[in-house]
């Protein structure tokens, strides 16, 4: 038994994405995963959502493991082991809420004392959680959130808007994760937990591959390194996606890659308009033409 100096080397991020249906959890998870590894072939998604992961196959050649019922903790552990043996660098579990639904359903069917019956399930659930925490790969977990509606004023009228509430999983799971992003129905993310301190105090933003790259740099060296934005600019498939990447970058990045942003925008617009119509982008009150 001895003391060692604390240092971080090649940490594997364990990250949660929670939100209501339609908030974009799966899509955001895939963008994060690509930013973490920059190689679609090293990404595996464990899909419990009726093949929904395959809807985004246009993004890249990632791997899908379709997990069928029963969604027991043991089945999840087996799926993680398959990804581990395949040497996947990023494992997306979409979603882990199905595991907790299974545990609750099985527990409710047992006769006898409800409290003591938890002794039959708690160790199984903890074993599953430890399997995703200890695997030598980045893990991104999506969590369904219970839904509700609130009235928001829009153009002088009150309209109902869907919001996510508490994530469907056992209380305390977020303590085990390094980062937890909550995504609203407009696909904006906020960090509700962040041990990296990369997103502390940051206003809501849209998750992109650049977000994953930033986290990857933290995992490797413990400091935030300016990412190479060229691959992320090249990966944009629409002007809106390119605009989001630009607006969520720093002024330094905007200045350094302005020509690349303009060139990519031109290429995206040529098939539609055959001409480039510059558009003003604003960042911190400063207007630039991209």
From first to last of its 290 residues, what are the pLDDT tens digits of the chain? 555 555 555 688 999 999 888 888 999 999 999 999 999 999 999 999 888 888 899 999 999 999 999 999 999 999 999 999 999 999 999 988 899 989 889 988 888 888 888 888 888 888 888 888 888 899 999 988 876 666 777 777 777 776 556 777 777 777 788 999 999 888 999 998 898 889 988 889 999 999 999 999 888 874 444 556 787 788 888 888 888 778 776 677 788 889 999 998 888 887 554 444 445 444 444 444 44
Closest-CA residue to 287 (of 251, 253, 260, 261): 251
Same-domain status, 175 and 240: no
Same-domain status, 204 and 252: no
Q: Give Cα 205 to chain centroid, integer Å.
A: 13
- Unique residue bearing structure tokens 């809501």: 204
**CATH number of the domain that residue 33 is part of:** 3.40.50.300
Same-domain status, 179 and 270: no
- Unique residue bearing structure tokens 């617009």: 269
- Is 6 among the domain residues? no
Query: Which H or E element spans position 114?
Result: helix 114-117
Same-domain status, 211 and 239: no
> What beta strand segments (E) does the chain contain?
14-19, 43-47, 63-66, 90-94, 138-154, 157-167, 179-183, 189-194, 280-283, 286-289
Write down which residue in 171, 189, 221 finishes a domain: 221
- Is 5 among the domain residues? no
Q: How many domains does the chain have?
A: 2
- Is 61 among the domain residues? yes
Same-domain status, 127 and 169: yes
Same-domain status, 32 and 73: yes
Same-domain status, 59 and 180: yes
Provide the domain limits for residue 66: 14-221
Same-domain status, 153 and 127: yes
């Amino acid at each position: 038994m001895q003391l060692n100096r604390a240092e971080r080397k090649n940490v594997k991020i364990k990250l949660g994405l929670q939100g209501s249906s339609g908030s974009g959890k799966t899509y955001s998870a895939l963008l994060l995963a690509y930013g973490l590894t920059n190689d679609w072939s090293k990404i595996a998604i464990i899909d419990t959502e009726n093949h929904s992961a395959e809807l985004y196959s246009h993004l890249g050649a990632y791997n899908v493991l379709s997990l069928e019922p029963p969604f027991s903790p043991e089945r999840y552990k087996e799926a993680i082991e398959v990804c581990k043996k395949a040497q996947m660098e990023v494992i997306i579990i979409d979603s882990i809420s199905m595991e907790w639904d299974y545990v609750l359903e099985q527990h409710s069917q047992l006769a006898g004392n409800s409290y003591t019956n938890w002794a039959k399930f708690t160790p199984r659930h903890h074993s599953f959680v430890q399997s995703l925490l200890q695997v030598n790969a980045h893990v991104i977990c999506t969590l369904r959130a219970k839904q509700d509606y609130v009235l928001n004023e829009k153009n002088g009228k009150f309209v109902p808007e869907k919001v996510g509430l508490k994530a469907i999983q056992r209380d305390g799971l977020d303590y085990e994760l390094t980062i937890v992003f909550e995504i609203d129905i407009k696909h904006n993310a906020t960090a509700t937990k962040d041990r990296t301190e990369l997103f502390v105090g940051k206003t809501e933003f849209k998750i992109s591959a650049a977000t994953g790259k930033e986290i990857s740099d933290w995992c490797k060296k413990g400091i935030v390194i300016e990412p190479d934005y060229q691959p992320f600019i090249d990966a944009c498939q629409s002007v809106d996606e390119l605009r989001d990447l630009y607006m969520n970058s720093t002024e330094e990045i905007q200045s350094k890659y302005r020509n690349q942003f303009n060139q990519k925008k031109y290429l995206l617009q040529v098939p539609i308009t055959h001409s480039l119509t510059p558009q003003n982008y604003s960042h911190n009150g400063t207007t630039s033409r991209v």
